[in-house]
Amino acid sequence: MSLPRFYPIGTPGVPWGDAERVQWRERQVRSRSYEQDVVSRVTAMADRFDVVRYGELRYGADVFPLLALKTRDWQAGRPVALVTGGVHGYETSGVLGALTFAESHAARYEDRVNLIVAPCVSPWAYERICRWNYHAIDPNRQFGASRDSEEARALIALGTPYLGQFLLHIDLHETTDTDATEFDPAKAARDGGRPERDSIPDGFYLVGNSEGFRRDFHESIIAAVEQVTHIAPPDAKGQIIGCPVVAKGVISFPVRQSGLCEGFSGATFSTTTEVYPDSPRTSPEECVAAQVTAVRAALDFALAHG
C-alpha cells in the first residue's frame, strides 16, 4: 500500500489553523443519509424501546438528532449495558451492528440487564464517510480529559446518571484501508507531523482496557467471533497497530488516558471491536454479523461472571 507523500491541505510540518480546517471540511462529500439509514430504523423500534434524544448537533445548515435506545422496562438495581457505534462515522459495520443487535437480539437480554444502545454517535461523519467531525476533531479521542467534541460530550451526559452501574460497555469500530491512505495522512497534516500507519490488520481484533483487563472476557468474544469471521494475526513483531498482542486477536492499553469512548463509562467489562471490511476474506454482511456476535458474546460473559 503506497501512502501519499503529503496531504493536499496545509504546509508540511505546520499544524492547521481555521482556514485549513475549513478546506478539509469542504472536501467532505455527503454520500448517504443518517435520516434514512439510522433515524428511521431507530424510530421503528419505538414500540419496544424508549427512544431517547440525548442531544442535537447543528453543523452549518445540518441538524442531527442524537438518538439512543433504552430498555423500556428499566429496572432499578439491574446492571446497565452500553452498546455504542459510529463514534467514527465512516465505520459502517459498527453502526449497522448496533442497530441489528437492537432489532433482532436485545429482547433476550432485557429481563436481566438495562440496555442503552447509541448506534451512531457521529452522524455528520456518517453521512460523509469520514473519521472526524465537522471541526476536524476525532471524537474517539475526546472521552478523557479533553472533551472538545460535541458528540463525546453528549454521549457522556447520556451515560453519567448510570456511572457505577455499568456492567458492560462495548464500542463497535472498523479499521479500513482509508485509515492508512486518507485519515492518517490527514491527521499528520492537521497536527504538523508525519504519517505513522503503513498497514492494516487483516481481520477482527479487540482493544481492551489495561485498567482492570479481563483476558477471559476478551477470549470468550474472540472464540465466538472466529466462528463468523477471521481473527487478525499479529505482525512480525507480535503486535497489532503497534501494541503487543496479549491474547489471540486482543491488544490492551489505558483507554481512558487515550480518551477512547470505551473508557468513559467505567464498566466492569469493556472492549472496543475492530473489523477490516476491505479484506478479500470477508464481506460487509459478515462484518456486521461479527459485530452482533461480539455484542452477544460480551453480554453473555458479563452476565455470567459479573
CB–CB of 291/98 below 8 Å? yes
Give CA–CA dist 103/176, Å, rounded: 26
Give CA–CA dist 72/110, Å, rounded: 9
Radius of gyration of the chain (CA): 18
CB–CB of 257/144 below 8 Å? yes
pLDDT for the residue 221: 98
* Per-residue pLDDT tens listing for the chain (306 residues): 444 457 999 999 999 999 999 999 999 999 999 999 999 999 999 999 999 999 999 999 999 999 999 999 999 999 999 999 999 999 999 999 999 999 999 999 999 999 999 999 999 999 999 999 999 999 999 999 889 999 999 999 999 999 999 999 999 999 999 999 999 999 999 999 988 876 799 999 999 999 999 999 999 999 999 999 999 999 999 999 999 999 999 999 999 999 999 999 999 999 999 999 999 999 999 999 999 999 999 999 999 998
Non-local CB neighbours of 109 within 8 Å, separated by 6+ positions: 81, 115, 299, 303
CB–CB of 96/138 below 8 Å? no
Give CA–CA dist 304/36, Å, rounded: 37
Amino acid at 237: K
Note the pLDDT tens digit of each residue in 20-78. 999 999 999 999 999 999 999 999 999 999 999 999 999 999 999 999 999 999 999 99
Non-local CB neighbours of 67 within 8 Å, separated by 6+ positions: 38, 39, 42, 43, 51, 52, 53, 54, 118, 119, 120
pLDDT for the residue 288: 98
Q: Residue 285: left if φ>0, alpha if ψ -120 to 50, beta else—which one?
A: alpha
- Give the CA count within 13 Å in the CB-facing half-sphere of 209: 23
CB–CB of 90/172 below 8 Å? no
pLDDT for the residue 198: 66
Non-local CB neighbours of 97 within 8 Å, separated by 6+ positions: 85, 172, 287, 288, 290, 291, 292, 294, 295
pLDDT for the residue 3: 45
pLDDT for the residue 5: 57
